Amino acid sequence: MSSQDHHEESFISKYIFSQDHKWIGIQYGITSLLFLLFGFALMMVMRWQLAYPDTVIPLVGWMFEDGMLSPDMYNSFGAMHGTIMIFLGVVPMVVGAFGNYLVPLQIGAPDMAFPKLNMASYWAYFIGGVVMFASFFMEGGAAASGWTMYPPLSVIAENGETVWLVGMIFLITSSLLGSMNIIVTIVQLRAEGLTWGRLPFFVWAQFVTSFLLVLAFPPLEAAGILQLMDRLVGTSFFLPSGLVVGGEVLNVSGGGSPLLWQHLFWFLAHPEVYVLVLPAMGVVAEIIANNTRKPLWGYNSLVFAVVWLGFMSFIVWAHHMFLTGMGQGMSVFFQTTTMIISIPSVIILSALFITLWGGKIRFNTPMLFALAFLPMFGIGGLTGLPLGLAPTDIHLHDTYYVIGHFHYVVAPGTIFAIFAGIYFWFPKITGKKLNEGLGKIHFFFSLIFINGVFMPMFIQGLAGVSRRLADGGVSYAHAAGVLQWNEFMSMSAWLLGLAQIPFIINFFMTIFKKVDGVADPNPWQSTTMEWTNTTSPPLGHGNFETAPVVHRGPYEYSIEGASEDFIPQTQK
C-alpha cells in the first residue's frame, strides 16, 4: 500500500479515514484523552456520593433524579468508570496513540505494515466508544455489574449490559487488528541495521504488549458471546441450576457455571493489566535514558524481563479467584506464579533506578513524571503482594485495599507515564515544547493529590471496607473508624481534577502558539530515530526521504570521544 500518494488527498481521506499512522495515532490520542476526562468526571461524581451521602450534587445534580446519585446509578458509574478508563482511555492511549505514532518512526519504517487495517482499528474503537457512551442514555442506563460483569447478576440485570457486550466486541476487534499490525510492523519493517538488540526498549515493550493483546483477548470475546447468548437468547452458560431470583426459581435450563465467566474473563483481564503497564514502562525508559544522558542500565535484563513478564502474565489469572472455593493445589500454583511474576517487574524497576546513578539528570517535566512513576508503581506493586497470597487475600479481597493497589499502578503509574510521554513527544508532533512552568505546576499538584486519593484506600481496605458500596461503608459497623477518610479522598480527587487545568491550558496554548522559523527537530537531543526527521512529519508521504540505515544501539549517550553527549542511531 503506497504511502506516497502525490495527488491531492481529500479532507476526508486525509483526516477522517486517514491511513497514515501518525494521524491515526493523533486520532487515538485525542479520543482517548476525551474518554479519560469523561471517566474521571464519573469518578468525581461518585466521590461526592461517598463523601456526602444522600446530598444533592453541586453543578451536575440537575442531571439526576432528586439531584443525587441513586445506588443503581452509582453502580453504573462505577462499572463504566472502570470500563472507560481501561478500554477507552488508557489502552488506546498507550497502544493506539503512542504505539501507532512512534513505533514506525522508531524503527525507521514508512508506515505500519497494514495502513488500511490501522484505519479500521481506529474506527472500530471509535464505534465501540460511541456505543459505550450511548449506553448511558438508553433505556435501562449503562451497565452496572462492575467492569468485571460477573454473572449471574450481569445476565439477569436489566441495565445496559447487552450494550456493554456489543461495545466490547467492537473494542476487542479494534485491539486485535491493531496489535497484529504492530507485531508485523516490528518484525518486518525494521530499517537496515536495526537488529533486535538495537531496538529501543519502548519498541520491545510494544512488541510484548501486542502479543498479550493478540492471545489474551479472544477468550474474553468468546465469553462475551456466551454472555450475550445468555442475555438475549436465554441460554444458561453462566446460570447455575436452581438459581433463585426474587424468591422464585429462574425459568432457564440451568447447568451453567458463573465460574466459567470468571475464568474466561480473568484469562484476558490479567494480561490486560500488563498491557496497561508495559508500554508505560517503555515510555519511562526512553525518557529516563534521554534525561540522564546515559544508556539504560541492563538493556539485556530489561528485554529478558519484559518478555518473561509477558509470558507469566498468562498463568496468574486465578489470583483474582482465590475466594471461589478453589482447592489447595490450584491455590498454591497460582500463588507461586504470582510471586514469581513480581521478579521481572522488580528487575525492570531496578534497572531504571540504577540508570539514574551517576547520570546528569535534567529535571524537565517529562522527567519529573517519569521519575515519579518509579516509586508510585513500586507502591502499587508492593501492595499487590498481600493480594497475591491467598491467606492475606481472604481478608483483603473485594475491599478498598484492592482499589488502592490497582489504582496506584495505573493512575500515578501508567497515567503519569502517559503525561510524561505527552510532554516528551509533544515537540515531535507539533514542533513546540509545552510550557515548563505550567508543566511543573501540573506535576507537583497531581502528585500530591493523587496520593491523597489513593493512599487512604489501603487504610479503609485493611479495616474491611468493601468496594462498590454506594453509601461508602456507612451501614457497616466495622467501617465506622475509617469513614472520615472518604471526605479527605474526595477533596483530593476534586483538587486533582483542578490540577489538570494547567495541563489543559498548556496543551491548547502551545498548539495555537505561533513560532518563527524552523523548529528544532530534536529538542531533547535524543538518539532514537523518531527525532531524525522533521517535526510534524508530513502525512501521507512515508516518514523518511530515504530508507534510514542504523549503525548503533539506541542509547549512545555520553560516549567517550564523541563531539556531543549523544550519537543518533543512524549516525555512522
Binding site for another protein (CB under 8 A): 1-4, 109-111, 113-115, 176, 180-181, 183-184, 187-189, 211, 214-223, 225-226, 229, 233-237, 240-242, 244, 247, 249, 252-253, 255-257, 259-260, 263-264, 267, 314-315, 318, 325-330, 542-547
Nearer to another protein, 267 or 449 (CB): 267
Beta bridge pairs of residue 466:
399
CB of 3 to another protein, least distance (A): 7
Measured from the CB of residue 440, what is the shortest distance to another protein in angstroms?
39
**Shortest CB 240 distance to another protein, Å:** 5
CA distance 156 to 239: 9
Cα 413 to Cα 423: distance, rounded to the nearest angstrom: 16
Whether the CB-CB separation of 405 and 384 falls below 8 Å is answered with yes
- Cβ closest to another protein, residue 210 vs residue 383: 210
Please name which of 49, 22, 232, 197 lies closest in space to residue 553, comparing C-alpha atoms.
Answer: 197
What is the 8-class DSSP label of residue 10? P
- Concatenating the DSSP letter of every residue in 149-216 gives T-TTHHHH--STHHHHHHHHHHHHHHHHHHHHHHHHHHHH-PPBT--GGGS-HHHHHHHHHHHHHHHH
Closest CA to 498 of 457, 468, 453: 453
The answer to whether 527 and 567 have CB atoms below 8 angstroms apart is yes
| In the complex, least distance from residue 229 CB atom to another protein, rounded to whole angstroms | 6
- To another protein, the closest distance from the beta carbon of 330 in angstroms equals 5
C-beta of residue 472 within 8 angstroms of C-beta of residue 49? yes
Contact 119/19 with Cβ under 8 angstroms? yes
- Output 87 or 544, the one with its CB closest to another protein: 544
- Residue 252 CB, nearest approach to another protein (Å): 7
Instruction: Round to whole Å and give the CA distance between 352 and 363.
Output: 16
Which DSSP helix (H) or strand (E) runs through 269? Answer: helix 258-292
When the beta carbons of 84 and 113 are compared against another protein, the nearer one is 113
Cβ nearer to another protein, comparing 32 with 533: 533
- Please, which residue, 178 or 381, has the CB nearer to another protein? 178
* Minimum CB distance to another protein, residue 220 (Å): 8
Run of H or E including 362: none
* Residue 18 C-beta: closest distance to another protein, Å: 15
Q: d(Cα 335, Cα 322) in Å, to the nearest integer?
A: 9
Instruction: Please choose, from the candidates 383, 298, 273, the residue with its C-alpha nearest in 3D space to the C-alpha of residue 348.
Output: 298
Are 550 and 194 a contacting pair, CB within 8 Å?
A: yes
Nearer to another protein, 233 or 477 (CB): 233
Smaller CB distance to another protein: residue 242 or 561? Answer: 242
What is the distance between the alpha carbons of residues 433 and 426, in angstroms, rounded to a whole number?
6
CA–CA separation, 391 vs 205, rounded Å? Answer: 33
Buried b (16+ CB within 10 A) or exposed e, 443-470: bebbbebbbbbbbbbbebbbbbbbbebb
> Among residues 332 and 498, whose Cβ is nearest to another protein?
332
Determine the distance from the C-alpha atom of residue 309 to the mean position of all C-alpha atoms in its chain, rounded to a whole number. Answer: 17
Q: How far is the CB of 253 from another protein (least distance, A)?
A: 5
> Which CB, 218 or 523, lies closer to another protein?
218
Task: Tell me the closest approach of the beta carbon of residue 521 to another protein, in angstroms.
Answer: 18
**Which CB sits closer to another protein, 317 or 425?**
317
DSSP category for residue 142: S
Q: Is the Cβ–Cβ distance between 431 and 535 less than 8 Å? A: yes
CB of 172 to another protein, least distance (A): 10
